[in-house]
Amino acid sequence: MSERTYNIAVVGAGAVGLSAALAFARDGFDTVLVGGLDTRRDGRTVALLNGSVRFLEALGAWPELVRNAAPLETMRIVDDTGSLFRPPPAAFRAGEIGLDAFGWNIENVTLVETLAEAARACAKLTLVPAFATGFETDGKGATLTLADGKTLKASLVVAGDGRNSKLRQIAGIETQTWSYPQSAVTVILAHDREHRETSTEFHTRHGPFTLVPLPGRRSSLVWVTSKSEAERLSQLDDGALALAIERQAQSHLGAMRIDGPRGLVPMSGLSVNRYRAQHLALVGEAAHVFPPIGAQGLNLGFRDVASLRDAVVDGRDEGHDPGSDETLDRYQRNRDLDVRLRTAAVDGLNRTLLTGMLPTDFLRGAGLLALSNIGPLRRIVMREGVLPRFSVPRLMRGHSPV
């Protein structure tokens, strides 16, 4: 029996891989999605920023997702480091830059399940619930070997198979990894007071403590702290953990109770020396890993997908195959600076919280104070955070994507 040949094969059925498969199928490419779904509930959510919402709208998935998401209309930052240079709490409002919300917060598993349902309903998309174990290329395309021994061919293979990407390893793409002396406790909470669509981030000496709204009187928590403290917190019963969270949150949401599963996430990062190999493109955590700070990880993964989609569509218009060097070189150019800047920003913020040096504390405090008091500067920073002006993929812009 001859091998089936596709235009594009996407490996990995997480949110990034699912979105990639839907995006390419939407544009008429013969697409296959290879991978099994992971629908574990671990108390993690994602704040989908404005560009990601527009991307999901273009895929047709947003009307279903928004039913289970909460808007982030205000972002509040509280310096709780104990520094001598603590600025007053700062609030950033989406309405100031003409948005209803900076983004929307939704449980990871709900996002994956909704995208999976859209994939199952997509007539132009083939689903293969198997793991890819091999990858090789020739001058014409790539061949994927599956766990059951079957093979398939594609002009372009999109590696969305996560931080431990098998395809990245086979392709010989070099990585740089690092870790932090921290872990993140994640959990979903119910609370007595209304969150008023406000995300509150306490900057502590051990890392950010961030409460993000969910529908109703519920919020998700990412509590970044020392590894030993995170381990201690993870061993507490529900009542004791809820009380510890309420105290750290300075009771601003009132009494709390645990309302979902917990997670314990080691803080680490990963970068790659290139985002492509012959007939292969990396997206999502196969290309970059962030600690859960600043809502950058998955949003950046969606930008990878939307940028790769633009490169492939433009390449088709110019007569190039999806996996051509011309197409993949364009993708490499489009992603390199964006990922480097976001990586540096997240890493820098986390490290400034960990240091006890007075000059660093002063600079961080002065920066937050300037953002609070200088309107034009504040608006520039807010826009860049949720609506970057440069190299924005077409599916993430505010007009009808083509």
pLDDT in tens, 364-394: 555 555 556 566 655 666 666 666 666 789 9
pTM of the model: 0.90
Candidate from 82-86, 190-194, 351-355 with smallest mean pLDDT: 351-355
Q: Looking at residue 376, what is its pLDDT?
A: 63
Rounded CA-CA distance 379/122 in Å is 40
Q: Is pLDDT at 358 greater than 50 in this prediction?
A: no
pLDDT at position 388, please?
66
Give the pLDDT mean for 267-271: 91
Closest by alpha carbon to 92, among 105, 75, 104? 75
DSSP line for 15-53: HHHHHHHHHHHHTT--EEEES-------S-EEEEEHHHH
Biggest CA–CA distance in the chain, Å, is 72
Which pLDDT value is given to residue 402?
38
Nearest to 12 by CA among 337, 283, 242: 283
Residues contacting 81, CB < 8 A, separation 6+:
203, 204, 205, 353, 361
Mean pLDDT of 24-48: 88
Average pLDDT over residues 264-289: 95
Domain residue limits, the chain: 4-70+105-177+269-352
Contact 142, 323 (CB under 8 A): yes
Which pLDDT band, with edges at 50, 70 and 90, does 202 fall under? very high
pLDDT digits (tens, 9 = 90+) for 110-142: 999 999 999 999 999 999 999 999 999 988 899
Residue partners of 237: CB distance under 8 A and separation at least 6:
none
Question: How many whole angstroms from its chain centre is CA 258?
Answer: 24
Mean pLDDT, range 155-177, rounded to an integer: 97
What mean pLDDT comes out for the span 216-234? 96
> What is the residue-averaged pLDDT of the chain?
88
Average pLDDT of the residues in 349-355: 60
Burial of 243 (0-12, 13-18, 19+ CB in 10 A): middle
* pLDDT band (50, 70, 90) for residue 292: confident
Find the helix or strand (DSSP H, E) in which 359 lies. Answer: helix 358-373
Q: Are 23 and 124 in contact (CB under 8 A)?
A: no
Name the H helices within 29-124: 50-58, 62-65, 108-120
- Alpha carbon distance 328, 35 (integer Å): 23
Integer CA distances (angstroms), 174 to 42, 82, 274, 287, 297, in order: 30, 40, 8, 10, 20
Q: What pLDDT, on the 0 to 100 scale, is given for residue 391?
A: 74
How far apart are alpha carbons 280 and 135 in whole angstroms? Answer: 9
The fold for domain 4-70+105-177+269-352 equals FAD/NAD(P)-binding domain (3.50.50)
Per-residue model confidence (pLDDT) at position 337: 83
- What pLDDT is recorded for position 401? 39
